[in-house]
Amino acid sequence: MGDNAKHAYNFAVEELRDREYPQMQGKTYLDHGGTTLYARSLVEAFSADMVSNLYGNPHSDCTPSKLAGHRIDEIRERALRFFNASPDEFDLVFVPNATAGVKLVADCFRDYAAASNTSFWYGYHRDAHTSLVGVREATKGFHRCFTSDEEVETWIEGRTASGHRRRQLDLFAYPGQSNMTGRRLPLDWPGKIRKNSQRVPTYTLLDAAALATTSPLDLSNAATAPDFVALSFYKIFGFPNLGALIVRKASAHILDARSYFGGGTVDMVVNIGDTWHAKKDVTVHDRLEDGTLPFLSIFALDAAMSVHTKLFGSMKQISMHCAYLAHQLYSELSQLRHCNDTPVVRIYKDANAIYGNSATQGATIAFNVLRADGGLVGYVDVERAADEQQIYVRSGSLCNPGGVATYLKWTPPEMRAAFAAGHKCSNPTQVVKGKSTGVVRVSLGAMSTRADVETLLDFVRETYVETELDVSDTEAEIFTAIPQALHVPASPSVIVSSSHGSQSLSYFSSAPASAPSARTSPRKPQSSMPTTPHSQYQRSTTQASPCTTSASSVTTSETDMVHKHKHALAATVTVHEVRRKQGQTEKKSAWSRGMKTALNRLV
């Protein structure tokens, strides 16, 4: 897609967004990796279907139920074809989400191994989502985490019976795309594994939840396709909340050994006087879809596929559009610098992943924000600050333990120690001993635009980029902040300033300062914060920003007032509390650290 085509497609998306995504008006949504958004046309089409047709439970035999059953069959086949999967070679099992599909495979392998007295070995890639990692607990300790692509390639090339138990069932699982960094993994591994697993049967499970969001998933070649593919439709279409496990029919026999059976999956059950049951034997999905299917959600999927194609053309076009936006965002974030030429963000990416190349990198960026002195800004703090600006991202460890260990450089002992000290994914300690425990993640989607990218970049620039700042520019703000912190009337003569770590404090006499210039004024979201008593203040020892220049000589003819309230200030006022009193959110800027230093020196 050339530059003109990229701009034209972006413009087309902007045009349709006003009409199809009114819920996005005035908002910047950048968490498509969690779920993308549903279109107005999708809701309208689904609603029209619901009020125009009478559907019954597909397990019944009346006309409304038969209509529902026929539609499910049609939509199942259409969903397979959406991924270029032939119904002759594959079956599709409806599940709540990708995780449910993964768990179904794990349960079946565990039961197959138990029934056949076979050892179940499980291998998974370091970029695996927690849901893939959890499969290891279905084995009896026979599992391995591959820490690099090279390890996987070496293992594939050496696949023989040597080094394996005589009776062993192998399953290798990996994500098509890291849900943390967005790097895309090789899709030719399943074919290679099948070719080199003649003596030791090895099956493959692909977690396509992140990949399928903005990339075509092509299962046209059954010989090289994964045996099992798990995905979530809401990550592609926004609605319905539904997932699928796509099963290669040649490998489906492994799933037949599942012990559990639910309503609709059996033809006969005996439970009085004996225990016996007969499973359905027509299709794979008949034996695995327990109970009544979420048939209304499946009907919504039909509308979702139609609307998605009408609005965006094809997954290939979406992939190119998102790759273009991700490349722009990555390039400009990477170039952001503080006044001392240190980077504003640290982006986590694989060395072989290239933004703009959809074969190696998806439309996801994981990063941490850095201060000019190299310190970390908490990832939750960044998400909250963005949220106040109606910019919606995600932060945390993202259910990707291997990614956290690899990119944030956490060792097992360190992770255990952090947990023992109170850090949890559900209640994180953002920085532990100088290391971040999570990241900020931005993920783009089909309806993302260049304007979304610019909005995020503006937010990062205005909120976190530290520019050279003369203290004289902030005099008016300091005049306001100190009296409020001291609970005294405002006075244009109370001022204190610092000079690159100097411990001296001087009082001078001068005229009131002018307002700060637009060049140095930090972004201040409007919010209302409660007043915090001095007794709750904590002492801060933060030094001045590396970007703060020498202060001009200012202030006071009212030193008596300062001494009078010195005891109150001695409890110390951090800049966070000062700004809260002004109804503002703390910004890690030159102003904030200069102000904090000034207040500490006043004590």
The lowest-confidence range among 234-248, 268-282, 449-463, 568-582 is 568-582
User: What is the residue-averaged pLDDT of the chain?
Assistant: 84
Q: Which long-range contacts (CB under 8 A, 24 or more apart) does 16-23 make?
A: 16/311, 16/447, 17/447, 17/449, 20/311, 20/447, 21/447
- Residue-wise pLDDT for 259-317, tens only, equals 999 999 999 999 999 999 999 999 999 999 999 999 999 999 999 999 999 999 999 99
How much of the chain, in percent, has pLDDT values that exceed 90?
73
Strands 143-146 and 119-125, by their bridges, are: parallel
What is the reported pLDDT for 534? 32
Is 216:314 a contact under the CB 8 Å cutoff? yes
274, 307, 340 - which closes a domain: 307
Is 555:507 a contact under the CB 8 Å cutoff? yes
**pLDDT at 538 exceeding the cut of 80:** no
What is the reported pLDDT for 87? 98
What's the rounded Cα separation, in Å, for the pair 229 and 286? 18
Q: Based on the structure, what is the number of domains in the chain?
A: 3
Is the domain of 424 the same as that of 484?
no
Identify whether 39 is part of a domain. no
Whole domain around residue 142: which residue ranges? 44-307
Is the domain of 87 the same as that of 215?
yes
Is the domain of 60 the same as that of 142?
yes
Which burial class, exposed, middle or buried, applies to 109 when counting CB atoms under 10 A from its CB (0-12, 13-18, 19+)? buried
Annotated catalytic residues are 399
Identify whether 12 is part of a domain. no
Average pLDDT over residues 113-142: 96
* pLDDT band, residue 484 (cuts 50/70/90): low
Identify whether 558 is part of a domain. yes
Is the domain of 483 the same as that of 593?
yes
Query: Which of 209, 194, 201, 247 minimizes the C-alpha distance to 127?
Result: 209
Is the domain of 427 the same as that of 516?
no
Is 121:170 a contact under the CB 8 Å cutoff? yes
SS (H, E, C) 241-266: CCEEEEEEHHHHHHHHHCCCCCCCCE
- Residue-wise pLDDT for 370-398, tens only, equals 999 999 999 999 999 999 999 999 999 99
pTM comes to 0.81
Identify whether 1 is part of a domain. no
Is the domain of 48 the same as that of 135?
yes
